[in-house]
Structure 1
Amino acid sequence: MAVSNGDICVWTCTHCSHASNPSWSNHCGQCSQAKDNQLPAGKRRWICDICTILNHAAAMLCDTCGREKTRTAPLECNTLKKGQYWSCSKCTLKNSIHQRKCKACETVRVTIEGPKSNGTMLSHDGIKARPDIPVHVTGQRAVVNKKTATPRNEQKSWQCTKCTYKNIETADICKVCKNSRTDSFSDLSFIRAKSSTQLKAATVKHKSELLDVLRLIEEQKATETRDFILTYCMLNNEPFVDDSFPPAPKSLYYKPSKYNETSVSKWLRPNEIKMDGDSSLNWAVFRNPSPSDITQGILGNCWFLSSLAVLAEREDLVKNVIVTREICEHGLYQVRLCKDGNWTTILVDDLLPCDQYGRLVYSKAKRKQLWVPLIEKAAAKIHGCYEALVSGRAIEGLRILTGAPCETINLQPLPGEDLDHNLTWATLLSSRSAGFLMGISCGGSNVNINNDGYKCMGLKPNHSYSVLDVKHEYGNRLLRLRNPWGHYSWNGDWSDDSVTWTPHLRKLLSPNSSSEGIFWISFEDVLRYFDTIDICKVRSHWNEVRLSGMFPPLSSSNHLSCVLLTVLEATEVELTLFQQENRMSKNCRLNLCLAVYRAPSFPLSHIGHLMGNSKGQMQSCVGCETMLEPGHYIAVCMAFNHWDMSRVEPNQPAPEYVLAIHSSKHLLAEQVSVERCLIGDALIGLVLAKGHKHNAVEGVTIYSLTKCWTGLVIVVENRHMNKWVHVKIDCSDSCNLVSTRGVFLTADAVPPLHRQVIIVLSQLKHNMSVLSDFSMKHRLASSSTLGVWGTGRNCPPIDGHLQGLHAPRLII
C-alpha cells in the first residue's frame, strides 16, 4: 500500500509492515519481499496504532498485540462462547466453527480430532503436531514450523532490529523478515542489498548510530588486535617495537638523506627519558588532563597542539582518543584518530625522539604523562612522519582529534565583503555555551600588520592559539586564549598586568596565567590581529554514519557519487565531504562541493528543492548543515577540476571521498548509482538558488555562480515555446581555472523550454589566486544552427562523456 504525504511517497510492506519504503523500490528495505502493487479488496491492510504491525482488513484485533481495530467496533469473537470458535494457527484470530478459512489471513482451518490434553499429538491429513505448535497450511497440507514453536502462555519475546516484529523468546530468527536474533552491539547497523531493477547497482543501506556506541565497537575490535600482539611480547619477554614506524630517520623526515644533522639523537622509552622536575611522580598515560600539560617542542605543529589543548578542557574527549589508558610495561599503545574522514585506531610503541641529553625533542610529557607525545606520534604515523605535522590550521587538528563537523569563521573581510562582527560575537558565545571546541589563527595574508607589530604585542604571526573561554562581562567582550608554547603571551589591554582590569573583573576572571601562555584579550583586538576562528561542533548523543565512494570521471555514472538519505523524523543534519589529502605536498587535488536536495522520485528524472550546500572550494573537506523533515533526500558530492586529467589519462583511478553524516536523530543512508544527468540537474539547482541572475531578453535568463564557488558556473534558461537561444561565452581572461569543456570559448544553442549548464570553471592549483572573468553574447533564433559562431548545436561539441553535465535539461 502506498502513502503520499506532500513530497514524501512511501509504501508499506505487507509482510513485515515496514512503512518507509520509497515508492520507486520494488522490494522491501527490511525483509526484501517483493512489493504487492495490486492488492485484492479483501486483502487490504490496516496498521495497528500500538505496535505498527500491518493487519488484514477483516481482522478486528491486531494479530500481534491484540489491540482493537476501533474501540467502538463490535468484535464478533467476544460473542463467541467456548466451543463455538477455533483459533487460527497463523494469526491467532478467533473464528466461528462454521468458517472453513480464517477471516483475516485466509488460512485453512486445522481440524482437531477430539479434545486432547497438553502433550497429546493432534493430526491433520496424516500430519501430527503438538497443540502448542503453530501449523502453517499450504492448500490442504499442514507444515509444522518448529522454530516458532512456543507455549501459548509464554509472554517473553525479543524485538527484531530490522522490522520491529516481536518474536517469541525461543526463536533464533525473525518470523517475518528472517533476520538473525542478536543481543550485542554487532547488530547496531543493518545492511540490505537491493535487487530492484530500477537501480543500476546493488546498494547498501546504513543506519546512523550513536557516536559513543560506534566508538565502543571500534575499541573492542582494536583491543583484540592489541591483546594478540601483547601476548606475543609477554611470551618472548620483549618490549614492543613498531616496525611500520621504526625509531629511525625515515619516521622523522620525508627525505632523511637531506638532513645530515638532526636534533634527534636517540629514541627512548619513558623510564629512560630525563625529566626536569616531577621526579617523585610515577609515569601515567594521563592524570586529570589540562591545557597546561601541552608544551610544543621544536616541531612546527602548533596547529595540532593548540587543538589538543582545547581537547584537554574535556577529559572525556581525551579518553575517546586514547584507547590504551593505562601504562603498558611492554610499551604497546593505541590511539584513535580521524584521517580524511575515516576513524583509524593507530598502534604505536613508546619509543620517543630525544636529544643527546635524553630530553624529549618534540612535545613534552609534563607531570610524567604520556598522552600528549603518544597522540603526537600517532598523528605523525598516519601522515607518514613527524615532518608531515609541520604547518597547518587548528581546524585540521580538531577534525583529526574529534571527527566532528567543523566550520571556519573569517575575521577579516575579503575585497568587497562586509562582515557582521556582532553576528560573529554571537556565534562565539553560543558555541562556547554549547561546549564546542575552538581554535584561532594569528596573522595571515588579510591582516595588514608586519611581524614587528605582532612581536611588540606578544603575539606570534602565522601561529595557532587555543580558545579556552568567551565572556561578555559588564559590556566587555573578552576571549581567553592559550599559546601552545606554554609561554610568550599577549601584553596589550586585558593582559595580566594591564590597567584595564577593574578589581571586580580581576577577581571574577583571574588573569594570572601569562607564564603558561594563557591570557585574556578583547574581541576588538582579536579582530585586529587574528585571521580566522575554527569551531568544532562536538555534541553528545548525536548519531553518525560514514560512507566511502568515488568521484565519477567526467559525467560517467560508473561510480557511486550520490547518497540517498531517508529521514524518519525531523532532524538536524551536518554533512562533511572529505577528500584524500597529502600533507607532504600541502595541496588538495579537488575543488569539492556538497549539496542536498529533496528526492521526489526514483530513478531521479529530476531533483527537488535545494535544502543546503557547501561552498565549492579546494579544501581538504567541505560541509553544510540543514534541518530535514521526514522524507527522502539526495546528497550530491561534486568535483570537476579532475575532469581535465581524466581526458589525458582516461585509465587513471577515480579519486575517492568520504561523506560523514552527523544527525540529532537516526536516519538511513545508502549510496546509489543514478542517471548521469543528475550531476547537471544538481548544478542547475545550485546555480538557480545561489547564483546571480542576468535577465538577457524576455523569456531568457542567464545565471552565473561565483559567490559560493571558487571559479564560475554559467547556466542559461530558455523559457520560449518555439525559439532557440544562442549563447557565446568567453572566459579567456580567467586565471588558475580549468574548464569542464576543455576550452574557455564556447557557443551553444539552448532548445526551447530547456536549461543548460554552459561551462564550469574550477580552481586548478591550491596555492595560487583565482580570477574568474567572462563576457557573453546571446540572441534568439528559429533554429539550432549557430552560423558564424560555430558548427552544429554546440561548439566545441558536447561528447558523450559530457552529456550528463552539459546536455540541455527540460524545464519541469
Structure 2
Amino acid sequence: MVLVPETQFWQFGKWVEVVVDDQLLLDETGKTLKYGRSTDENEFWMPLLEKAFAKLNGSYEAIIRGFARNAFVDLTGGIGETIWLPNCPPKNLCKRAQKALDRNSLMAASITGKRGKRPDGLYNHHAYSITKIHKMTVGVKEMEFVRLRNPHGKNEWTGDWRDDDETNWSKVDPKEKEKMQVKKEDGKPEDGEFWMSLDDFRKVFHLLHICHLDANAPREKDAPFRWHSNSFQGRWKSASGLNNPDAFWTNPQFYVSLSEESEILISLIQKSRKDLLWIDFDVYKYLDNPDQRKRLLSSLKVEKKVTSWLKEKNKVEDRTESLKLTRGDYLIIPMNRASEEGDFLLRIFTEKKHLFRKLEIK
C-alpha cells in the first residue's frame, strides 16, 4: 500500500488536503474497478481523485448523486451558477454560454425526471459537459449549435444532428463540418461527444451548470479575462430572520463600490450541509448614513417574501445570482427565512475592479 500525495478540495473558502492510499475497489469480477476508471488501464489519477473526494464526503455513496455545479466548485474554488433553461431566452442563452466558454468557465447540462435512459439516447440526472458553441448558416437559416460530451465516453444523442445524421450534415459545407470536428466513422466506436441544435438543447435539457473560475485558477495562457474577487465569512444572529421584520436591519451588511458598469456574481453559501436553512440575499443602493440604512431596511415589506419563499424555493446549500450593475455604491444583505443562527460565506466576482467591506451595525 502506498499513500498518495495530498489532494486538495475547496470547502467554504478554504483548501482542504485529503490523503488516500492506492487501494481501489473492484467489481464482482475482481478485474475491473467498481467506480470511476479511465479507458487507459494504466491511468489511475481519476479513481484516486474520486477516492479522495469520497473520503472528504464520507463515502462513495455520498457522491453518487448531486449537481455538477457543486463538484465544479469543490474542485476549483470557483463560483457555481445554475440556469433553469426553460426560462432562458435562446439569444441570451447562446450569449451567456459563449461568454462562459471564452472565460474558461466549466459548464455542464442535465435533465430532470425519472432516472434512467431516454428514447433519445440520453440519461436523466446525468451531467453532460458543454465544450463548444457554434453558429453557422444551414440553407438560408442561421442556426446555433451546442457540442456536448458524455463523460462515460459512450451513449450519445440519437436525434437530429447526431454524428451519423447524413440527412442534416449533408446540408453543411465539408470545410464547416471539418471545423466542427464531426468525426463519426463507420465501424468506429462512440466517443461520447455529439452536437445538438440550440433549439433541441433547450427542449431536452433543463439545467445548465456554470462554474466561474476565480483569478487564481489555472487557465489557458491566451485567456486574458480574470474576475476580481472577494469573500467574507459571516454569521447570522438568532433574531435577524425574515420572519422577524423588526430585526431585519440587524442582518450582516456588505458594501460594494463599482467605479464603472460591471457584471457581478454574488454567491451565498451556508456552511452547514446537514441542517439547511432557507437562504437568500438582496442588493440595494447604498446609503452612507447608518440611521438612513436602518430606516430603509426596517421599512421593507419582508413578510411577503417569507410567503413567496415557501412557495417558490427549496432549502439549498447556496444561492448565486449574476447581475449587471451600473457605476455606484451598493449594499448586499445575506439573510435566512427563520430567526436561526448560522455561518455563511459571501463571495463576489466582478468584471471590473471593486471595493468591498463589511459594515458595522450599531
Q: Which residue identity is paired with 1:458?
A: G
* 1:575-654 equivalence runs, <5 A: 575-582=266-273, 589-606=276-293, 617=313, 618-624=315-321, 625-627=323-325, 629=327, 631=329, 633-640=330-337, 642-643=338-339, 654=341
Q: Equivalents in 2 of 1:430, 1:558: separation in Å?
A: 37
| Contact residue 270 and residue 344 of structure 2 kept, 8 A | yes
Q: Which residue identity is paired with 2:169?
A: W
| Contact residue 380 and residue 386 of structure 1 kept, 8 A | yes
Q: Secondary structure at the match of 1:395?
A: helix
Q: Equivalents in 2 of 1:667, 1:477: separation in Å?
A: 35
Task: Classify 1:410/1:558 alpha carbon distance in 2 versus 1 (closer, same or farther; 3 Å).
Answer: closer
Q: Does 1:442 align with 2:111?
A: yes
Shift of 1:560: 8.0
Percent of aligned positions with the same letter in both sequences?
Answer: 23
Task: Classify 1:601/1:507 alpha carbon distance in 2 versus 1 (closer, same or farther; 3 Å).
Answer: closer
Shift of 1:604: 4.1
2:143 to 462, 476, 489: 476
TM-score by length of 1: 0.36
Q: Which has the higher contact order (CA 8 A, sep 6+)?
A: 2
Task: Name the residue aligned to 2:259.
Answer: 569
Provide the aligned C-alpha RMSD in A.
3.2
Task: Classify 1:362/1:476 alpha carbon distance in 2 versus 1 (closer, same or farther; 3 Å).
Answer: same
Task: Name the residue aligned to 1:655.
Answer: 342
User: What is the CA deviation profile of residues 598-654 of structure 1, one whole-angstrom value per residue up to 9, with x for unaligned ones?
Assistant: 3322434326799xxxx96432111233436354x33211111x33xx5xxxxxxx2
| Contact residue 561 and residue 672 of structure 1 kept, 8 A | no
Shift of 1:566: 5.2
Shift of 1:438: 1.2
Shift of 1:478: 1.5
Q: Equivalents in 1 of 2:258, 2:135: separation in Å?
A: 40
Q: Secondary structure at the match of 2:349?
A: strand
Shift of 1:657: 0.7
Task: Classify 1:567/1:360 alpha carbon distance in 2 versus 1 (closer, same or farther; 3 Å).
Answer: same
User: What is the CA deviation profile of residues 60-116 of structure 1, one whole-angstrom value per residue up to 9, with x for unaligned ones?
Assistant: xxxxxxxxxxxxxxxxxxxxxxxxxxxxxxxxxxxxxxxxxxxxxxxxxxxxxxxxx
| Contact residue 545 and residue 660 of structure 1 kept, 8 A | yes
2:33 to 360, 365, 377: 360
Task: Classify 1:670/1:528 alpha carbon distance in 2 versus 1 (closer, same or farther; 3 Å).
Answer: closer
Task: Name the residue aligned to 2:217.
Answer: none
Shift of 1:575: 1.7
Q: Secondary structure at the match of 1:485?
A: coil
Task: Name the residue aligned to 2:221.
Answer: none
Task: Name the residue aligned to 2:206.
Answer: 531
| Contact residue 20 and residue 52 of structure 2 kept, 8 A | no
Task: Classify 1:574/1:426 alpha carbon distance in 2 versus 1 (closer, same or farther; 3 Å).
Answer: closer
Shift of 1:673: 4.3
Q: Equivalents in 2 of 1:606, 1:565: separation in Å?
A: 12
Q: Equivalents in 2 of 1:422, 1:459: separation in Å?
A: 25
Q: Which residue identity is paired with 1:423?
A: N
Task: Name the residue aligned to 1:351.
Answer: 22
- Relative to its length, the structure with more strand (as a share) is 2
* 1:385-464 equivalence runs, <5 A: 385-413=59-87, 420-444=89-113, 455-464=118-127
2:237 to 544, 552, 563: 552
Shift of 1:665: 4.8
In structure 2, list runs of 5 or more residues that go unmatched.
215-224, 242-246, 301-307
| Contact residue 563 and residue 669 of structure 1 kept, 8 A | no
Q: Does 1:382 align with 2:67?
A: no
* 1:262-411 equivalence runs, <5 A: 331-339=3-11, 341-355=12-26, 357=30, 359-367=32-40, 368-411=42-85
Task: Name the residue aligned to 2:227.
Answer: 542
User: What is the CA deviation profile of residues 351-407 of structure 1, one whole-angstrom value per residue up to 9, with x for unaligned ones?
Assistant: 242226354222114543443223322322222222110211222222222222232
Task: Classify 1:566/1:466 alpha carbon distance in 2 versus 1 (closer, same or farther; 3 Å).
Answer: closer
Task: Name the residue aligned to 2:195.
Answer: 520
TM-score by length of 2: 0.75
Task: Classify 1:362/1:560 alpha carbon distance in 2 versus 1 (closer, same or farther; 3 Å).
Answer: farther
Task: Name the residue aligned to 1:466.
Answer: 129
Task: Classify 1:484/1:538 alpha carbon distance in 2 versus 1 (closer, same or farther; 3 Å).
Answer: same
Q: Which residue identity is paired with 1:567?
A: S
Q: Which residue identity is paired with 1:428?
A: A
Which is greater in Rg?
A: 1
Q: Which residue identity is paired with 1:337?
A: F
Q: Secondary structure at the match of 2:239?
A: coil
Q: Which residue identity is paired with 2:3?
A: G
| Contact residue 94 and residue 133 of structure 2 kept, 8 A | no
Q: Equivalents in 2 of 1:599, 1:456: separation in Å?
A: 53
Shift of 1:578: 0.3
Q: Secondary structure at the match of 2:290?
A: coil
Task: Name the residue aligned to 2:305.
Answer: none
Q: Which residue identity is paired with 1:482?
A: R
Q: Secondary structure at the match of 1:398?
A: helix
| Contact residue 352 and residue 373 of structure 1 kept, 8 A | no
In structure 1, list runs of 5 or more residues that go unmatched.
1-268, 270-329, 414-418, 647-653, 676-812
Q: Equivalents in 1 of 2:94, 2:352: separation in Å?
A: 29
Q: Which residue identity is paired with 1:576?
A: S
Q: Equivalents in 2 of 1:394, 1:568: separation in Å?
A: 31
Shift of 1:494: 1.3
| Contact residue 480 and residue 519 of structure 1 kept, 8 A | yes
Query: How many corresponding residue pairs?
Result: 316
Q: Which residue identity is paired with 1:472?
A: K
| Contact residue 235 and residue 344 of structure 2 kept, 8 A | yes
| Contact residue 457 and residue 491 of structure 1 kept, 8 A | yes
